[in-house]
Amino acid sequence: MSQAAEDDTGTVDAAPRRRGRPGKDQATVLREAIDLFNEQGYDATSMGDLAKRLGFTKSALYHHVPSKEHLLQAALDEALDGLSEAVATARADRSASALDRLRGAVRGSVEILVAHLPAVTLLLRVRGNSPAELAALDRRRKIDADLTALVADAVAEGGIRSDLPPDLISRLLFGMVNSLTEWVRPGGSRSAAEIAAGLTTLAFDGLLAEPTQAS
């Protein structure tokens, strides 16, 4: 039976293919690469491994992407772009209190994590072993600094308790967010909105400043 074939640009034509699987677009290649990096580790995964996973020859795979690090960079950018936007959007909302801006950053971060779970999982595993990983760590530090600033603003306004350093609150709070990668699964019984609401309720009920006692 005749099957579609992939040409030298990675597109699909009507000619017979030797291999039995259909051609795949770049988005699909990236999704498969992220899954394989998470399963085997980035350093332990070769382009040959990915080609085998996709049903490509290595030469056909290189028509889709130039290198393994290119795929890693795209995956990390997917996670970081979403997280950066969530935090920036929350910080820019000057109609809200500092506490509500912080809540918005947490809620948005959870929703990005759930929506881009494989990419965020990969991001949290990088250790700086390549230029792409070093760049990702720099971007993560910028996000951490922005989150700490949000916490400090909320402390200054009296929205959350002041007896803990803002950077410690930020690390603990977003450590809770990052821990979702350990148990949240795509297609699970809890929606992103439900998880975000539960986490923010739990976190901020414990962080709200105590009311001043009447003398």
pLDDT for the residue numbered 109? 96
Query: 110 and 170 in one domain?
Result: yes
Task: Please list the residues that pair with 160 across neighbouring strands.
Answer: 208
Residues 20 and 122 reside in one and the same domain: no
Strands (E), the chain: 5-6, 12-13
**Are 127 and 171 members of one domain?**
yes
In this structure, are 22 and 90 located in the same domain? no
User: 65, 29 in Cβ contact below 8 A?
Assistant: yes
Q: Is the dihedral of CA 33, 190, 101, 156 positive or negative?
A: negative
Same-domain check for residues 60 and 122 = no
Residue-wise pLDDT tens digits, 42-62: 999 999 999 999 998 999 898
Q: Distance (Å, rounded) from C-alpha 106 to C-alpha 126? A: 22
Name the pTM for this structure. 0.81
With a pLDDT cut of 70, the percent of the chain lying above it is: 85
Q: Is 23 exposed, middle or buried (0-12, 13-18, 19+ CB in 10 A)?
A: buried
- Mind listing the pLDDT tens digit for each residue in 86-142? 999 999 998 999 999 999 999 999 999 999 999 999 999 999 989 999 999 999 999
| pLDDT band per the 50, 70, 90 thresholds, residue 11 | very low
- Kindly report, residue by residue over 194-214, the tens digit of the pLDDT: 999 999 998 888 666 665 554
CB 30 within 8 A of CB 74: yes
Q: Is residue 103 part of a domain?
A: yes
- Looking at the domain assignment, is residue 214 inside a domain? no
pLDDT in tens, 25-39: 889 999 999 999 999
What is the Cα–Cα distance from 70 to 215, expressed in whole angstroms? 63
Helix (H, G, I), strand (E, B) or coil at 178: helix
Query: What's the pLDDT score for residue 189?
Result: 83
> Structurally, how many domains does the chain consist of?
2
Same domain for 100 and 149, yes or no, is: yes
Could you tell me the CATH number of the domain that includes residue 97? 1.10.357.10
State whether 60 and 97 are in the same domain: no
Element (H, E) at 37: helix 26-40
Question: Nearest CA to 150 among 174, 172, 163, 166?
Answer: 166
Q: Are residues 27 and 132 in the same domain?
A: no
- Say if 113 falls within a structural domain: yes
Domain boundary residue, one of 17, 50, 66: 66
Q: Which domain holds residue 167?
A: 69-207
Confidence of residue 17 (pLDDT cuts 50, 70, 90): very low
- Identify the residue with better confidence: 72 or 207: 72
What confidence score (pLDDT) does residue 206 get?
Answer: 66
Stated as kind and residue range, the H or E segment containing 34 is helix 26-40
